Amino acid sequence: MKRNIGRMALISMVTSLLLIFAFSLCAFAQRDDGPPAHNFSGTWDLRQSNGFVVTMVLTQNGREITGTASYNAGRNGIARGSVSGRAWRTNGGGGWQTNVDNFQVEIAWNGAVGVYRATASWADGVLHGETYQKNNPGARASWTAGPFARRR
């Protein structure tokens, strides 16, 4: 009898931990209210706070973004990478001016992967974001790109 109570307590504790983990994953998920209003296709110069300028040449098909990227790596020449990611809309509570387009891509550089996240309000049309290496998210740089006027 004691053995069954101990086993039931263990199962209950594990189940509770799994539920907490599942709900915390949902809390970190980005809200997606639909396709973005802006089309991110074209050439973008991302001016990073660490001094680098990354140039992306992007194509957007619905929410999916693909393309190429490059930056001046100094003595190592021009670094090149491939871009993949997506864009989506988050509706604000105060009319269309508070709606935001979200942008997240990964660039596969030579061996490393850079994550680039940004938002663009419908009112100003400038991408404001941050970047970090996927395997080292603690080292971040902010960046901006735009303005742009390519609303769908």
pLDDT tens-digit map of 65-103: 999 999 998 898 899 999 999 999 887 766 555 678 898
Whole-prediction pTM: 0.73
E strand or H helix at 19, and its extent?
helix 2-28
**Based on the domain organization, do 46 and 108 belong to the same domain?**
yes
**Based on the domain organization, do 88 and 19 belong to the same domain?**
no
The encoded tokens of residue 116 equal 């680039």
Domain limits for position 5: 1-30
Contact partners, residue 11, CB within 8 Å, separation at least 6: none
Total number of domains in the chain: 2
Dihedral sign for Cα atoms in the order 30, 34, 37, 43: positive
Q: Which residue has the tokens 């110069």?
A: 45
